[in-house]
Structure 1
């Protein structure tokens, strides 16, 4: 089958670039093949130099664009009302919230409500005792002195909330904290707020030292 070489010359649909460092695209002839009485011409192009499309960076507007007042169409109206939405209590983390007074007539949190709030505290367990639901957290510390220091840190954090946990220094190096609202016989939102504040206390310097074996 005979093959022929086709030479095409064409002009680009845009004027040549005058910026330095740009050279036009050159078309090279490529052999063609005929199949089913149809001729197909394939072109192989090669860009000489940098990308002929140029830099897509920002530019200053032209005088004609400024005169057209296009900025007024894209920046919005001068009387546009902008609202700053302040997050409500449910959107804030528990540690950022404040405790509120609890009425003795207020019902305690249900088991389902307490389980949903357990996802927002770290290291606490939910206890279901005869007296109602409670939160409990245990810390294994370096020594007795570290246990006393942790209790002091917890007291400083919870002093401003006026809602204190029950703290116990057990054995030589363990501290146990329990939270519940005695006036309603169970858990309230205040218990989870205080638990979240306690979670933010630094305890890494009180943890037992790791043994390094030679």
Structure 2
């Protein structure tokens, strides 16, 4: 099953974070993302600051609807950096990979932007 079509688990607070082995097995399913400093990270390129800010707001609204929020910010005035990490468990959860897959699917083809 495609990760982007999996359901988000509503409560992961009592689960263990993914192991390095589990992370390594899931990474190929989100090729636009990298494992860095314990987080699942990607950078979206935009033409200018206003486009980056608009994208940041779209991603924030999308994540809020799913009730699974990333760390997100604008860098160098035109890049939107997104990092998934489940603070409730102190590591990555399957939800982080599901949301990364959904973001890639939704925003990868965005004109002017990319991962």
Q: Which TM-score bucket, shorter chain as reference? A: 0.7 to 0.9
> 1:108 maps to which residue?
17
29, 34, 51: which one aligns with 1:125: 34
Q: In the alignment, is the contact (CA less than 8 A) between 1:154 and 1:201 conserved in 2?
A: no
Deviation at 1:204, TM superposition (A): 3.4
> 1:143 maps to which residue?
48
Root-mean-square deviation (CA, aligned residues, Å) is: 1.8
More helix by share: 2
In the alignment, structure 2 segments of 5+ residues that lack a partner are none
State whether structure 2 residue 112 is matched by structure 1 residue 206: yes
Q: TM-score, normalised by structure 2?
A: 0.87
Number of aligned positions between the proteins: 113
In the alignment, structure 1 segments of 5+ residues that lack a partner are 1-91, 209-214
**Pairing 1:148-163 to 2, within 5 Å after superposition:** 148-163=53-68
Which aligned segments of 4 or more residues in structure 1 are displaced greater than 4 angstroms?
none
Query: Matches of 2:39 and 2:59 in 1, distance apart?
Result: 18
Deviation at 1:118, TM superposition (A): 0.7
Larger Rg: 1
Q: TM-score, normalised by structure 1?
A: 0.49
Query: Matches of 1:136 and 1:117 in 2, distance apart?
Result: 14
